[in-house]
Amino acid sequence: MGARGPGPGDWSFESTSAGKGRTSSVAIAQALQRRILTGEIAVGSWLRHEALAAEFGISRTPIREALHVLQARGIVTIVRNRGARVNGHSSRDIRELGEVRSELEGFAAQLAAERITDEQLEQLRGSWRGFRDAIEEFVQKPSQERDAETAARWVAANDEFHNLILEASGNRQLRVSIQEIHHRLPPNSSYLAYSGRERLLRQNLAEHDKIAEAIGRNDGATARRLMTAHIRRAVMATVDWMEGKGLLRDGAEPDEPLAR
């Protein structure tokens, strides 16, 4: 049961048709969500059934379902007889999400420190080594050769580290809640925010090391404190990067569509 879930930050499919001819509406929701959160679809824009249906080569019905799913996730707002509008994030939203995430992951680290098994601990250390090796390989390449594949390795190793801790926490609902928060954040934002900055990457690695060590000592309080600080730093880096890329909505919003 360990290897089951790809965990948070995993939007695998998007590749056109999932199965044969039928494209599940959840796949469409995922594809739309990815485009929205990466900024490919602008914040505040309206999503029109007809255009999306034509683009995906299907009818409006599954599009409508996908939009309702996105509304349930808080990513768009459906206004009656007007359509679905993209709910942008403000810098404040990202920071607040980061606060929540840091608390939850800190809690997970504490539980993990109290409950982790020897086998899981060994996996965690292996994951850390994988993270280290992937980073070393990444930073030693010249910038031109840094392809997506090498970068994906340390992204995967990073995800694995956090997932192992969630797994070791023994609380499945905690995992669901954290996933739900990831659903409200841009995918791979950590990768994008860190990819160019070697110093931050190395700092990240060192933090992972200390967290794993505290968990290995069954020191829940320290593990929690370290993890919380770790996530907060990552969030700050993400906010910086998003602000630089102009992906954030300004604080003041032009017109509130859902005034009820």
DSSP state letters, 51-116: HHHHHHTS-HHHHHHHHHHHHHTTSEEEETTTEEEE-PPBHHHHHHHHHHHHHHHHHHHHHHHHH-
DSSP at 46: E
Count the residues in the chain: 260
> Is 80 one of the binding residues for its own copies (CB under 8 A)?
yes
184 binds its own copies, rule: CB under 8 A:
yes
Of 30, 87, 127, 189, the one binding its own copies by CB under 8 A? 87
CA 212, CA 122: separation in Å to the nearest integer? 10
Taking the least distance from each CB to its own copies, the nearer of 103 and 209 is 103
Q: Which does 260 bind (CB under 5 to 8 A by kind): its own copies, DNA, none?
A: its own copies
When CB distances are held under 5 to 8 angstroms depending on the partner's kind, the choice from its own copies, DNA, none that residue 54 binds is none
Q: Cβ 72 to its own copies, closest distance in Å?
A: 4
Contact partner, 97, from DNA, its own copies, none, Cβ < 5-8 Å per class: its own copies
Q: Which of 12, 81, 140, 173 binds DNA (CB under 7 A)?
A: 81
In 83-146, which ranges are E strands?
83-86
Q: Binding of DNA at residue 228 (CB under 7 A)?
A: no
Q: DSSP class of residue 235?
A: H
Which residues, other chains included, contact 134 with Cβ-Cβ below 8 Å and sequence gap of 6+? 150, 153, 154, 156, 157
Give the shortest CB-128-to-DNA separation in angstroms. Answer: 41
Among 6, 74, 82, 96, binds DNA (CB under 7 A): 82
Out of its own copies, DNA, none, what residue 20 binds, judged by CB under 5 to 8 A for its kind, is DNA
Residue 73 phi/psi, 5-degree rounding, is: -90, 0
Q: Are 188 and 9 in contact (CB under 8 A)?
A: yes
Residue 91 interacts with its own copies (CB under 8 A): yes or no: no
Interface residues with DNA (CB under 7 A) are: 20, 22-25, 46-50, 53, 58-62, 64-65, 78, 80-84
